[in-house]
Structures are given as structure tokens and as C-alpha cells.
Amino acid sequence: MPKILAELLYSLPQPYHLTGDPNTLITAPVVESDVEVQSGGVFVARKGQIVDGHEFIPRAIERGAAAIVGERPIDNLPVPYVQVENPQEATGYLAAAYHDFPSRKLVVIGVTGTDGKTTTSTLIHSILQVATGGKAGMISTIAAHVGDKTVETGLHVTTPGAPQVQSLLAQMVANGLTHAVIEMTSIGLAQGRVNGVDIDVAVLTNVTHEHLNDHGSFEAYRAAKGRMFEMLGTSDRKDGQIKIAVINGDDPNADYFVNIVNNAPPDIAFPTVYVLYGMSEAIPHRPINVRYEPSGTYLTMVNWAIDTIPGDDYWKYREYQTEFLSPLIGQFNVMNMLAAIKVAQQLFGDFAVTYIREGLEAVKSIPGRLERIDEGQDFLAIVDFAHTPNALKNVLETCRKMVGDGGRLIVTFGSAGLRDREKRRMMAETAIQLADFSIFTAEDPRTESLDEILQTMADAAVAVGGVEGKDFIRVPDRGEAIYQACQMAKKGDVVIACGKGHEQSMAFGNIEYPWDDREAMRAALRGTPLKTLPTAKKV
């Protein structure tokens, strides 16, 4: 898909200064890493936390870069140079232009929130697969489904980089897909990784305590998620497509996101509208008669429709109810179901019920989300991705209902280094209050002291009445921690390892070591700790 440089630059919403020929032919993708440069491509040089991409411009040119984008004033390059104020913000637009703006050829559903993004995205994708006859793609924490294959999306990155996002969307278009679900993190939104994506439906799961180290304040964190809703008002309209926001009305921040939608640029022909879902009676789209049974979670959805009266000049509301089933369990999954249901109802109207039922029932589990590990033991062993205070609370409350008579709830978890420090205290407090026994352990300590992280958690546990040795212990090696949890478990107990879920590595220092909580749980159930981390005792 050759382009001339000027075509790419036309997509930029920010001013730029070009030195060189605007008619330079671009025959390879826009990239942010010099090692990924292909002959005829564009290299975007930007300042990172550790290295400055401008230092790699000579190497990018050696590899065949046809043009360079950066923020420093640079002269005398042998290829065109585009100086912009913010290269990180520019990358998505340039990549979208190179790939012929693939999101404009798809109905795109963006999902953001502190918790529940992956599950909600997966449920929406499953429903869309039914509704479109298999023509729906997805980019999530776990993987990207582009139609003909599944692509890994990274170790600790929920939203891939902007060039990868646009490439994946282009693959979906090439494979004849019509819809795409994209899981969008606050960091991904703040860093412009989804710039150049035209969003048709924006979904909010919730906003709770997380990533404050990255954003500086809760308000900045919330504003980063708000960017997705702002994008509704600036995206192209597709064949008269109304832009839709689906918002958790129970969340204390719901009004903030509603105001963004209401203040979107006016478009009388194709307005941006919002719907609220939740558990509160004040919310029109809510569940009643929620039942948790061995086969899964049943709920009856209450909706309101507008009826017009023939021959009259007025209309009235009519309430109607529909029952749905999901194999997933837990009240927090009820909220994820509600979000997915409302997206489908907004997109497909009266035809949605059949699609929703089949789509929900097709999702038996989510990798690393309340995932049961069975090695023939007489207690329940579970792995979950919960790594925020709210997620841990929800998971422990759900697991409490699974504990047998006389059984205990045993949880193993940690708190990541170089991340929000306040949640270390909050999560330890939550565990002491909701679990019978807690084991504090490693979870991506990175360059921080693991002992100091565990000390902070232990101090918080003691502050709310926990007694070390009785209510909790510290076991630095995660493999050993999960092993000890399984060793102490008896019939009727529930053992859960939280924080890593589906992830395939753990960061110590600047190195990613192979790690999988599910494999660690299996090894522990078989009687041996998994020993792939530097904290493991090698014998």
C-alpha cells in the first residue's frame, strides 16, 4: 500500500515542519523501533523513559527508512525529516494513514475501565461473532483475533503500540471482518496508542484506584479514560452510524463520562448518545432475579422501550424483561454481562436477544480470570488476574461463596514495583478482612526491593488487626508461596492466586523471567514449587 509522505502528514492534527520532499514514496509501515524499520518505511523517534529514539535515527536510515519523524530540530538528513511537537501522539495517525484508515471500515467498540475490561471485551466479541457470522475481531490483554489467526499482544501491555494497533486492524479488514473490539487502558489512551482509531461504541466498566503512579492523580487517570469518550465525538460517521457510549451508571464517576458525551461536538444528523447500565433501581437498564447456579449466572434484564400510540401525538415508555445465562460466576461478572448486553442491544436492536444468548453462553471461561486448576485435589484451586483493591475485593467475595462447610479461603498475591504504592496497603487490608489466610509474595517487583514491598503489606495487615503467622505470612518466592498455600489446604478450602492471571512473565530488575501462575498452581498441586524466578531456592 505505497503512499507519498504528504498523504501521511495530511492525517496529523498537530502542526509539523517538513524538511525534504513531500512526494517521497513510503512503501513500508510506520514504526517506533529502529530494529523494526523496513526499507521504505517511516521511523518515529521519540524520547522514552530510558532511551531517546533520536539517537537511533542513523541506524534507522541505514536500515532503509524513507522518512524520519521526531521532535528535535535536525538538519542535513539524507531523507525527509518531519518535526512535530509530540511524536508519540503523531504515531497513531501516521500509522492509520499508511494502512488506509482501517478502523473507518469497521464498527469499532472500545472498552476501558479499571477492572473487567478483558472479560467485557471477550463477551462483546463472542456476541458479535454470532451476530456477524464470525466477522468480528478483538484486541485484548490476552491476544488479538484478526480473523484467520490469533496474535499474541505482549507480556505486560494491554493496549499494543500504535503501529501494532493499526496493523492488526488492517489485517481484520483484509480478512473481511466488519466489527472490532479493542480493550483500551488508561496508559494506552494517554500515550496515544489508539490515536487514529475511529470509535463507534465506547464502554466504561468502572474507575477505581489504580495506575496513579503513571498518571500522577486520580483526576488525570480518569481523564485518560475520558479520552476514549472524547474520540466518539471526533470519529468519522459510518453510513449514518450513531455514536454510542455505554456507561456503568453505578460508578461514582458516571456523570463525568456522561458530561463528555453531552459536550461532544454537535452533529444533528448523527448524534452521540449514551446508555447507563448497573444494579441500582434508578438505572433503566438493570438486572433483576440474579441467580448463581452450578450452570452459571442467570439474570433477567429490565429494559425500557418507547412506544408510539397510533394516531396520537405522544409516546410512552414500556418495560420489558429478558433472561440471559452466562457460565461465568460472580457479581462483578454480572456487570460485565450487562455492559456486553447493552452494546449488542444498541447495535442490533430487537434482533439482539438471540445473538446475546448464544454469545454469552459460548464464553465458558476467560484465561486467568477465576480459572479453575484441577489436578484431582479435594479443594478448589483458582488463578485470577485481580491486581487492584477493587478487583481483589470482588474476587474474594465471590470465592467466599465457594468455600465448603468448615473450609477456609486462602489467598496468595503481591503488589507490583514501580506502580501505585498506595494499593499495597489497600490490598493487604482487603485480604485480611475477606480471606481466612493470606500469603504475601512477589508480583513484578521490578527495580524496587521486594522485601520492602512485603514489609509495607505486612504493616498494613497488622494495622487492621492481622497477626503475622496466624492470619498471614510473607513468602518472597511466588512459586513457594503458591506451593505452601496448596500444602495447607484441606477439603472444602478455596486456594486462589491473584495478580498475574494469564501473564507469561514476571519482572525482576529489568529482566522478564518466564512465569505462569496456572503452571505454578499445577506444579504446587502435584507437590513441587515452580522454580523459574530468581527468588527460588535451587536444589
The stretches of 211-253 forming alpha helices (DSSP H) are 212-215, 218-234
Per-residue pLDDT of the chain (539 residues; tens, 9 = 90+): 789 999 999 999 989 999 999 999 999 999 999 999 999 999 999 987 678 999 999 999 999 999 999 999 999 999 999 999 999 999 999 999 999 999 999 999 999 999 999 999 999 999 999 999 999 999 998 889 999 888 776 555 567 899 999 999 999 999 999 999 999 998 899 999 999 999 999 999 999 865 556 667 889 999 999 999 999 877 676 666 789 999 999 999 999 999 999 887 766 556 788 999 999 988 877 888 898 887 789 999 876 655 555 555 555 556 668 899 999 988 889 999 999 999 999 999 867 899 999 999 999 989 888 999 999 999 999 999 999 998 999 999 999 989 999 999 999 999 999 888 899 999 999 999 999 999 999 999 999 999 999 999 999 999 999 999 999 999 999 999 999 999 999 999 999 999 999 899 999 999 999 999 999 999 999 999 999 999 998 65
Q: Which residues are registered as beta bridge partners of 505?
A: 514
pTM to 2 decimal places: 0.87
| Dist. CA 416–CA 419, nearest whole Å | 6
> What residues does CATH 3.90.190.20 cover in the chain?
371-525
Which helix or strand (DSSP H or E) is residue 516 part of? none
Q: Specify the CATH architecture of the domain 371-525.
A: Alpha-Beta Complex (3.90)
CATH 3.90.950.10 fits 3-98, yes or no: no
| Dist. CA 241–CA 107, nearest whole Å | 9
* pLDDT reported for residue 480: 98
CATH superfamily of 102-278+329-362: Mur-like, catalytic domain (3.40.1190.10)
Cell of 73: 530540530
Q: 403 vs 77, 150, 380, CA distance in Å?
A: 67, 36, 8
Q: 50 vs 53, 74, 510, CA distance in Å?
A: 10, 21, 11
> What residues does CATH 3.40.1190.10 cover in the chain?
102-278+329-362
Task: Give the length of the chain.
Answer: 539
